Amino acid sequence: MPFSAAASYALLRAKPEQDIWVSLLKQHGDIVYLPWLNVYFVDRPSVVHEILKKRHDVFVRGPAFRASFGRAIGRGLITNEGTEWHFTRRLVHAEFKPKSIADSSLSTFRFVQNRIASWEDSAKSGVPLDVSASLYHIHLSLIGKFLFNNALDGLLDVIHGHVTRVSAETYRRSMPPGLFLPWWFPLPGSKRAHESREQLRVLLRQLISTDCGPTIKHLQNAVAKDGKSEQWLEGELMTLLWTGHETSSQASAWMCFHVAQQQEVQERLYEEIRSMEDAIADGSALDEKLPYHKQVVDEALRLSPAVPRVGRTLIEDCEVDGVLFRKNAHIAISPYVVHRHPEYWEEPEVFDPERFSASNKDSITPGSYIPFAVGPHRCIGQHLAVSQMITVLANTVRKYRFTLANTNPVKALDHATLVPSEHIYLRLEVRK
């Protein structure tokens, strides 16, 4: 159903974006066209699957997306297309495979175990723990260890501040009125965001001047042997640092938010980990050894996908599932809404890890579960993120019982990643 310009603008500015998408699905169906913006809102799984996987050559990441994120964090894996994207993907792909991740699993497990053990002070004092901030630091340290062999101690708050300012600026540029203004037009916070961007670049140069992990060495070799520029290296590094902690930390915080409200789920998690204590001591293959933990992670990602929207632009006319999409139109896909489509998910707002049990997961419709997208452009860090989330969950439930301490309703907001309307707080009790 097409919308007028006035109705489109009013809809976009009326309420938080996630509510907009859900309203469109409920009131107007799973394919909606906004002519004023030349945007199709697509939440039909069969069409989503076709766009992202089978027709990715026609539905590409458009120039507006590449310009917005490219200016924010540099040109890298999430903005590039074609040969440039293929080159980097092939270059670093091996380091993100499950086997490579397993090689550092023991170090990761012990690191997370030690950091989560420090939450005991909060449990004993009775003061709620800001789990959003704590997990942000944990995941930032983990990506620091993965990329730079450096847990970034002493830099965590500095990097957090810079990333927050640049993320806010990127979001302002992706929504009206910033969407329609030239990049050089100043918005509130633009100057500080620019300064933060430059400070992050300085930090990256300092970090790569020391001993680094294999992923960084592959990129540095491309500069030395394949003629890639320092600017190219900087863009790829910024992308890996940014996406490697921002999305996984938010996903872990949302996971804790959901599990904190499900005491039966917590106890089942605890029983599983107690029964597998010896097997998980090395931290490897946790998704296989702790299948219920993996189900809980999958369900948390269904309700709260770290990346709440995916955009594409058509380079030619294309018909999918009886719908004709015109050249140059923009496609907006919301995993947040696709994961709540009532035709594909029973009681979609209910947290139910059994959806992903061995007996149920094969019946999930292709395109209806896309927390990491699908197709060639699916998130390269998918296995790393899931492994880290299971590690966080296992170490949390084995040591604590926890409940949600927030007194206000926590809403989901799109600020490039899915963020809570306020930090998530947990009330912890040390298990006897």
DSSP one-letter string for 241-280: HHHHHHHHHHHHHHHHHHHHT-HHHHHHHHHHHHHTTTTT
The band of 264, judged by pLDDT with boundaries at 50, 70 and 90, is very high
Beta bridge partners of 40: 33, 331
Q: Which two tokens stand for residue 351?
A: 């947290």
Lowest-confidence pick of 13-17, 43-47, 95-99: 13-17
**pLDDT over 70 for what percent of the chain?**
93
CATH code, 69: 1.10.630.10
**Spatial separation of the C-alpha atoms in residues 393 and 126, rounded to whole Å:** 21
Task: Evaluate whether 31 touches 24 at the Cβ level (below 8 Å).
Answer: no
Q: What would the pLDDT profile of 148-180 be if each residue is shown by its tens digit?
A: 998 899 999 999 999 888 888 877 776 666 666
pLDDT, position 99: 86
Answering whether pTM is above 0.85, one says yes
pLDDT, position 279: 83
Q: What would the pLDDT profile of 89-123 be if each residue is shown by its tens digit?
A: 999 988 999 888 888 888 999 999 999 999 999 99
**Spatial separation of the C-alpha atoms in residues 427 and 256, rounded to whole Å:** 11
Q: Could you list the residue range(s) of the whole structural domain that residue 220 is in?
A: 5-430
Burial class (CB in 10 A: 0-12, 13-18, 19+), 279: middle
pLDDT, position 180: 67
Task: Evaluate whether 8 touches 180 at the Cβ level (below 8 Å).
Answer: no
Q: What would the pLDDT profile of 308-323 be if each residue is shown by its tens digit?
A: 889 899 999 999 999 9
- Summarize the confidence of residues 201-212 as an average pLDDT: 87
Q: Which two tokens stand for residue 287?
A: 């998704």
238 alpha-carbon distance from chain centroid: 15
Q: Say yes or no to pLDDT of 430 above 60.
A: yes
Q: What is the domain count for the chain? A: 1
**DSSP alpha helices (H): ranges in 34-152?**
45-49, 63-73, 82-92, 98-103, 105-117, 120-125, 131-148
pLDDT, position 12: 55
Residue with tokens 């007996």: 359
pLDDT, position 132: 98
